[in-house]
């Protein structure tokens, strides 16, 4: 049986085939995206000329350490390709993201990219989203009221479950944008696009981790190599 790390690396290696000289890239966050950044750094050392926007401070530090030339969306507002991980993937390429707490910047970068390619190991595949608690990035001001609004909105659609503030050592987890994350334990999300629109409409929600209709390709690392979902690579 192939290890999870090897599957992540296989997916990252396959995604690297989509990178060409001169490209403007978005670099995702998490262990799978880090495998991609590490491999990309090797290509850069061999002479590949690309420029990239990181989706988190962690990824910025890793990319800098690997010698990858970085830019910002203010300097470079459109990107050719974004490569990122995911926490859960359904058969039509809807995603849950934000396990690492970087979902807001990840979505901004994905939205600025002509193409989003997701790299995962096969444990992330699911028939219905919701097995992974949905992360929602919330403005700290009025967070309790915002969470009640999220709960009301989702219950109207027959979806409910505990909404838990993410904490580290008893203190709230603070994102790169100085906001908090609430993990919504819905278990099953029948219509991800509908829920995405409902949660996004609530003031106080900075962004949520549902990526509905954004990814064009998912590269899945498996025991036998990689499988491609969606647009071929
Ligand atoms: C971070 C993310 C990550 O892409 C997601 O959590 C997957 O991480 P990993 O590759 O470590 O499993 O959305 O906000």
Segment 158-182, tens digit of pLDDT: 899 999 999 999 999 999 999 999 9
229 in a domain, yes or no? no
Ligand 1 center from residue 34 Cα (angstroms)? 9
As a whole number of angstroms, the distance between CA 66 and CA 200 comes to: 35
Q: State whether 49 and 65 are in the same domain.
A: yes
Could you tell me if 110 and 217 lie in one domain?
Answer: yes
Strands ordered across the beta sheet of 180-184:
163-165, 180-184, 134-138, 205-208
Residues 115, 87, single domain; the answer is yes
Low-confidence ranges of the chain (pLDDT < 50): none
What pLDDT does 102 receive? 98
Q: Which residue has the tokens 């097995």?
A: 131
Total number of domains constituting the chain: 2
Asked if 69 and 99 sit in the same domain, the reply is yes
Mean pLDDT of the residues in the chain? 97
In a domain, 232, yes or no: no
Cα Rg of the chain, angstroms:
17
**The token pair that represents 34 in the structure block:** 């880090």
CA 131 – ligand 1 centroid, Å? 15
14, 114: one domain: yes
Ligand 1 centroid from CA 45, angstroms: 26
Among 86, 120, 135, 207, say which to mutate for ligand 1: greatest number of ligand atoms within 8 Å of CB: 86
Do 121 and 11 lie in a common domain? yes
Q: What pLDDT was estimated at residue 78?
A: 98
The C-alpha angle with vertex 128 and arms to 124 and 133, in degrees rounded to 5, equals 65
End-to-end CA distance of the chain: 25
Residues in contact with 90: Cβ distance below 8 Å, sequence separation at least 6, in sequence order: 126, 127, 128, 129, 192
Q: Does residue 157 sit within a domain?
A: yes
CA distances to 18, 64, 117 from 92, rounded to whole Å, are 21, 34, 14
- Distant-in-sequence, close-in-space partners of 101: CB < 8 Å, separation ≥ 6: 56, 135, 137, 166, 173, 175, 176, 181
Q: Whose CA is nearest to atom 5 of ligand 1?
A: 86
Residues 199 and 103 in one domain: no
Domain match, 201 and 219 both: no
Query: CATH number for the domain including 179?
Result: 3.30.70.260
Cβ proximity of 14 and 217 under 8 Å: no
Q: Is residue 105 part of a domain?
A: yes
Check whether residue 182 and residue 111 sit in a common domain. no
Position 157 scores a pLDDT of: 82
Q: Could you tell me the CATH number of the domain that includes residue 86?
A: 3.40.50.1360
Rounded distance from Cα 38 to ligand 1 centre (Å): 15
Each residue of 49-75: pLDDT tens digit?
999 999 999 999 999 999 999 999 999
* pTM of the predicted structure, to 2 decimals: 0.97
Q: Is 106 a catalytic residue?
A: yes
Closest atom, ligand 1, to C-alpha of 33: 10
Domain that includes residue 87, residue range = 4-125+213-223
Substitution candidate for ligand 1 out of 33, 175, 214 with most atoms within 8 A of CB: 33
């Amino acid at each position: 049986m192939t290890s999870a790390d090897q599957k992540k690396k296989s997916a990252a290696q396959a995604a690297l085939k989509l990178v060409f000289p001169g490209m403007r890239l978005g670099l995702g966050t998490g262990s799978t995206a880090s495998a991609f950044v590490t491999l990309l750094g090797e290509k850069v050392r061999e002479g590949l000329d690309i420029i990239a926007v990181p989706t988190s401070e962690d990824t910025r530090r890793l990319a800098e350490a690997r010698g990858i030339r970085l830019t910002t969306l203010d300097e470079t507002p459109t990107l050719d390709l974004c490569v990122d991980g995911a926490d859960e993937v359904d058969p039509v390429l809807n995603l849950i993201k934000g396990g690492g707490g970087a979902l807001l910047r990840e979505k901004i970068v994905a939205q600025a990219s002509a193409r989003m390619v997701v790299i995962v190991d096969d444990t992330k595949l699911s028939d219905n989203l919701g097995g992974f608690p949905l992360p929602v990035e919330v403005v700290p001001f009025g967070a309790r009221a915002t969470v009640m609004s999220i709960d009301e909105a989702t219950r109207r659609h027959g979806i409910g479950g505990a909404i838990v503030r993410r904490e580290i050592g008893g203190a709230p987890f603070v994102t790169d944008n100085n906001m908090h994350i609430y993990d919504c334990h819905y278990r099953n999300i029948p219509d991800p696009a509908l829920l995405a629109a409902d949660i996004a409409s609530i003031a106080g929600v900075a962004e949520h981790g549902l990526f509905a209709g954004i990814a064009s390709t998912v590269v899945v690392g498996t025991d036998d190599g990689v499988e491609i979902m969606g647009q071929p690579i």
